[in-house]
Every structure is written in structure tokens, then in C-alpha cells.
Amino acid sequence: MKHALPSLDRLKVFESSARLLSFTKAATELCITKGAVSYQIKRLEDQIGVPLFRRSTRQIFLTDAGQSLFQTTRSVFDEVEFSIQRIRASKQHDITIAATTYVAARWLSPRVAKFLEQYPDVSVRFEHHVNDPSFQLKQTDLALIWGNCRQPMDQNTIANIPMALFPAVNPEQAARLQKDTTWLSKITLLSEDRSQDLWLEWFGKRVLPNPRQVIEDANVRVQAAIDGQGMILADDLMKSELDSQLLVAPFDHALSDYGYQLKKSADIATSLAVDNILKWL
């Protein structure tokens, strides 16, 4: 069946322009001229029959129609890319594991290194967009996803890896907390922008007067706590910082319901390489 679709090149030009909101940057990314980008966009708009961009002197903006098409093209291109990656992986004995850079560096990488010593013909690829709203488990073989480990495991969950959460600060701030307990209500709380506020859960209160600093990257959040920017909810993956006293845990109370869930995509065919690496995780 023949589809009345614009050319793939034209859609690629549109997707790049819409993502970067710049014809100039799209031209650089695609290794073509800015004039070629403008021409392809104009042909696409003529073919569809509606404007996709609003143009100003120095910037372009997506129209409602452009935004709708961008969401579709981005999703489709992602699906095609992941499909190609899966095909390559099946041929090359590759394994794709989704995990944040924090988990990959502190928990996953040492285990994968030992696995690769025994299986040198297998290639392991880390995917770090696991917290993105657009992330889908079917895009990977395995994934480590943060969540509540007390909830029933779904069909994709292989195991729970509990990680108790407890406050930690640098030594100078720990000493200040010991001298002045009222400072607990004033110290800056470093947090990730999650729908569930775990600081509220740890404090057991509905309202906290503390100033907040949202730092989504966990590695940056750890360094911010070491630098004295505030208090962080730490876990066992920060053992190195705690052992070296770069961070100090001033309280005994911890949240024990949370951790990482090791998940396996149900959309992929079971492979010997995936089954083997599971023994090392």
C-alpha cells in the first residue's frame, strides 16, 4: 500500500528544526545549507497545507500544527532508531541497560566489568534517559528504575534492590546541627524534582519551612552536599563519600520503602547474553 507521506528527508529536516528551534542549527546538524532547510520546510508546509513555524527576525516558533507533527515525528524516529539498535544488538550480542549515570557509575559499572571478563564477546550499552517522560522499557533489554519497593512487582520486574534513604551533610554542617538543633528547620534541602516529596515523608510533616534547591542530576546533588550547599537524602551508593567523611549522616531515621527495580523488557526475545548478565546484577 502506497502512503501519501512527505519524503523522509523532508521530515528529518522538520524534526531537526523543530527540536532545535533554529534553521541554522538544523542545517549544521544535517550538514546542509540553511537555504536547503528553509526550502524543505516550505515544501512540507505547502504539502500539508498549514504553517508549521512562526518566523520572527531572530527566532522560529512551532505553531500548534507544528507541535503536533513534531511530537509524532520525534516518537516515530525514536522508534525506528531503537528498532535498528535492537537489530544490531541481536546480531552483535549487545545488551542495552537503562540506568541513570549515578546508578551506572556507582552500582552497575563494577558488576558489568566483572561480567565482561567472562563474556568478552558481549557488548554492553548504557542508556541514561531512564527518567525521561518519554522513556519506554521496550527500548532496552534491562532497566534500573527508582520506585517504591514495597509495591507488588509487575510482570516486567525481576528483582527489587532496596536502598534506604537518610539525610547527609558535610562535616561542617553536621557540627552546626549538633550545636543548634533549630537549624534543622533552616538548612537547604537538596532534592530531585519528583512528584512524591521524599523530604516531606522523612520529616513526617505536610509543610516544611526549609529552603529547597532542586538538582535533578544525582551526581551533581552529591557534590552540592559535599560543597555545603545543603542536606541530601543519601543512600548506600554514596558509601565512598560516607566512609571518607566527605558526607556525614547526622540522624538514625531512614526511609526503607524505596530502592531500584530491575526490569526486563517483555517485548524482546530472551537471549543467552541477557540471561547471563542477570546472574551478575
In this predicted model, what pLDDT tens digit does every residue of 45-99 receive, in sequence order?
999 999 999 998 888 999 999 999 999 998 888 888 877 776 665 554 678 899 9
Alpha carbon distance 223, 211 (integer Å): 18
Question: Can you read off the three cell numbers belonging to residue 10?
Answer: 523532508
The H or E element containing residue 126 is strand 123-127
Alpha carbon distance 163, 148 (integer Å): 10
CATH architecture under which domain 166-255 falls: 3-Layer(aba) Sandwich (3.40)
Average pLDDT over residues 114-136: 85
Class assignment of domain 8-76? Answer: mainly alpha
List the one residue out of 133, 137, 145 whose CA is nearest residue 104: 145
Specify the higher pLDDT residue, 251 or 85.
251
Domains 8-76 and 166-255 share a fold: no
Is residue 246's pLDDT more than 90? yes
Give how far the C-alpha of residue 37 lies from the chain's centroid of Cα atoms, to the nearest Å.
Answer: 31
Fold of 93-163+260-278: D-Maltodextrin-Binding Protein; domain 2 (3.40.190)
Instruction: Delimit the domains of the chain by residue range.
Output: 8-76, 93-163+260-278, 166-255
Which pLDDT score is estimated for 86?
66
End-to-end CA, the chain = 46
CA distances for 16 relative to 26, 48, 56, angstroms = 5, 18, 18
